[in-house]
Amino acid sequence: MPIRLETWFAVGSAYTWLAIRRAEMLEAAGEVVFDWKPYSTRIVMSELGTLPKNAPVKLAYIWRDIERRAPRLGLSPRFPAPYPLVDYDRANHVAVLAAREGWCFDYLRATYRRWMQEGQVAGAEPNLSESLREIGRDPVETLARADAPEIAAAFLANTDRARELGVFGAPTFRVGEELFWGEDRLDDALDWARTGRLSAP
Amino acid sequence: MPIRLETWFAVGSAYTWLAIRRAEMLEAAGEVVFDWKPYSTRIVMSELGTLPKNAPVKLAYIWRDIERRAPRLGLSPRFPAPYPLVDYDRANHVAVLAAREGWCFDYLRATYRRWMQEGQVAGAEPNLSESLREIGRDPVETLARADAPEIAAAFLANTDRARELGVFGAPTFRVGEELFWGEDRLDDALDWARTGRLSAP
């Protein structure tokens, strides 16, 4: 039985790109199924004062860290990628709809590839329509549904739930009552899910 | 030839505890020599607004993350450990003196063990004197030298240098022009030092 891993994230989180790639490899191996939970990191981190743009030297480091780590996952970053996302909410509303309908992972792969490797900003055109078309969704019909107030409300409800759980960054993996923050804690999360502790490194 | 790894840190950084343990294992294997550079994370992070105490939910996570990761390095945390350090500057002034005289690593091991495993706050008594005695230093004479204005000035000079390098957290490993932030980036730093890139995970 693959592990079902609750994964809190936002389209707009740069490290989530690496997590998506790891997820792709793990799902292909049949080990894990990712349960994607989009929430507004922007709201939560703004409340906490932890938005990376507040500390430019840290933000610059983050991009460099990702640029160094991406190639060993077979990813080819084309940096600087547009950041932060102007249409952050819309990028995530599509993710909320997608998570509800079971095609979130497909959407994430497509939209992040365009964002991180092709310089097309996520949440905006042409990234949105091209990503949807690539994964077999009609852009006009899909975006109309993603733009419904009900989806925006669901995104805020996810955000409230994330705050309640103590989630404060992305990606965050939840295993029982334990949170594992960061793409670099994915192995810890899986260890914990399998054995209830962390194995030797 | 072992790699000489420039390591920016402060006594007071919780994650530095894990780095010290990793360093111990790597030095024992003859692979790496750590060049300890104490600087004031408190000044730099306060300027950046990134002090963990500003975001209590994140701080709570950090302690739990360390508590989960410590045992697989053979460490036995006794948490909560006193935090933040009241005598932060003094704890680091001793480190500055120690780095200058070549016994910084010994000091770090002794003072962190007391802090993280025995509940004795670093930078204060009895931790300071007991740690110094354990590593064969006379506490009275050593602390008198650590309390000299010149040592405080050297600590601030290190802090200026860290800021200039773009160091914003602890531990941070520097390899050429590249920074690697976090105990969890130690392997990346060593990969980079050995090959100029990151090998497959």
The whole-angstrom separation of Cα A23 and Cα A33 is 8
pLDDT given at position B201: 67
- Which of A50, A54, A188 is opposite residue B58, by nearest beta carbon? A50
- Closest approach of B121 to chain A, Cα-based (Å): 27
Asked if B61 and A181 come within 8 Å (Cβ–Cβ), the reply is yes
Q: How far is A62 from A78, CA to CA, in rounded Å?
A: 15
Strands B172-175 and B3-9: antiparallel
Give the pLDDT of residue A41: 98
For residue A2, say if its preceding peptide bond is cis, omega within 30 degrees of 0. no
**Interface touch A48/B55, C-beta < 8 Å:** yes
**Tokens of residue A181, six digits:** 């923050």
Of A6, A36, A8, A4, which is closest to residue A167 (Cα–Cα)? A8
Give B69 to chain A, closest Cα distance, Å. Answer: 7
CA distance, residue A144 to nearest chain B CA (Å): 36
Other beta carbons less than 10 A from residue A194's beta carbon: 12
Provide the sign of the torsion angle of the four alpha carbons B107, B94, B118, B83, taken in this order.
negative
DSSP states along A37-49? EE--HHHHHHHHT
In chain A, the residue whose alpha carbon lies closest to the alpha carbon of B163 is A57
Confidence of residue B42 (pLDDT cuts 50, 70, 90): very high
**Residue the block writes with tokens 């409800």:** A157
CA–CA distance, A164 with A176 (Å, rounded to integer): 14
3-class state of residue A138 by DSSP: coil
The CA–CA distances, whole Å, from A184 to A34, A180, A197, B42 equal 16, 9, 16, 25
H or E stretch covering B7: strand B3-9
Q: Which residues of chain A are within 8 Å of residue B50 when distances are taken between CB atoms?
A: 50, 54-55, 58
Mean pLDDT of chain B: 97
Q: Is the dihedral of CA B184, B186, B190, B196 positive or negative?
A: positive
Q: Give the DSSP H/E element, type plus range, for residue B106.
A: helix B104-118
Interface residue ranges in chain B relative to chain A, Cβ cutoff 8 Å: 48-50, 54-55, 57-58, 60-61, 64-65, 68-69, 71-73, 166, 168-169, 178-181, 184-185, 188, 192, 197-201
pLDDT score at B200: 76
pLDDT of residue B54: 86
DSSP assignment letter at B172? E
| pLDDT at site A201 | 67
Residue B119, phi-psi category: left (phi > 0), alpha (psi -120 to 50), beta (remainder): left
Of B48, B57, B185, the CB nearest to A168: B57
Q: State chain A's maximal CA–CA distance in angstroms.
A: 50
For residue B58, list chain A residues with Cβ-Cβ distance below 8 A. 48, 50, 168-169
Residue B61 to residue A192, Cβ atoms within 8 A: no
- How close B132 gets to chain A, by Cα (Å)? 32
Q: In residues, how long is chain A?
A: 201
From the CB of residue A42, how many other CB atoms can be counted at a distance below 10 Å? 18
Q: Using the beta-carbon criterion (under 8 Å), do B49 and A69 form an inter-chain contact?
A: no
Contacts of B72 in chain A (CB under 8 A): 198-201
DSSP assignment letter at B79: S
Using a 10 angstrom Cβ sphere, with 0-12 exposed, 13-18 middle and 19 or more buried, the burial of residue B168 is buried
Residues of A in CB contact (< 8 Å) with B are 48-50, 54-55, 57-58, 60-61, 64-65, 68-69, 71-73, 166, 168-169, 178-181, 184-185, 188, 192, 197-201
**How many residue contacts between A and B have a Cβ separation below 8 Å?**
79
What was the pLDDT predicted at A200? 76
For A69, which residue in chain B has the nearest alpha carbon? Answer: B198
Claim: this prediction has a pTM higher than 0.90: yes
Spell out the per-residue pLDDT of chain A, length 201, in tens: 899 999 999 999 999 999 999 999 999 999 999 999 999 999 999 999 999 888 999 999 999 999 999 999 999 999 999 999 999 999 999 999 999 999 999 999 999 999 999 999 999 999 999 999 999 999 999 999 999 999 999 999 999 999 999 999 999 999 999 999 999 999 999 999 999 999 876
**Positive or negative, the Cα torsion across A96, A97, A101, A103?**
negative
Q: Which range has the top average pLDDT, A51-55, B50-54, B70-74?
A: B70-74
Q: Which two tokens stand for residue A59?
A: 């933000």
ipTM, 2 dp: 0.96
- Cβ–Cβ of A69/B192 closer than 8 Å? no
Whether A62 contacts A18, CB under 8 Å: no
Q: Three-state SS string across A74-89, please?
A: CCCCCCCCCCCCCCHH
pLDDT tens sequence across B143-168: 999 999 999 999 999 999 999 999 99
Do the Cβ atoms of B181 and A71 come within 8 Å?
Answer: no
How far away is chain A from the Cα of B129, in angstroms, using its nearest Cα? 34
Mean pLDDT within B38-54:
95
Q: Which two tokens stand for residue A11?
A: 């389209």
Enumerate the residues of chain B whose CB falls inside 8 A of the CB of residue A179: 61, 64
> Least CA distance to B62: which residue of chain A?
A181
Task: Give residue-wise pLDDT tens across range B89-129.
Answer: 999 999 999 999 999 999 999 999 999 999 999 999 999 99
Q: What pLDDT score does A199 carry?
A: 86
What is the distance in angstroms between the Cα of A14 and the nearest Cα belonging to chain B? 17
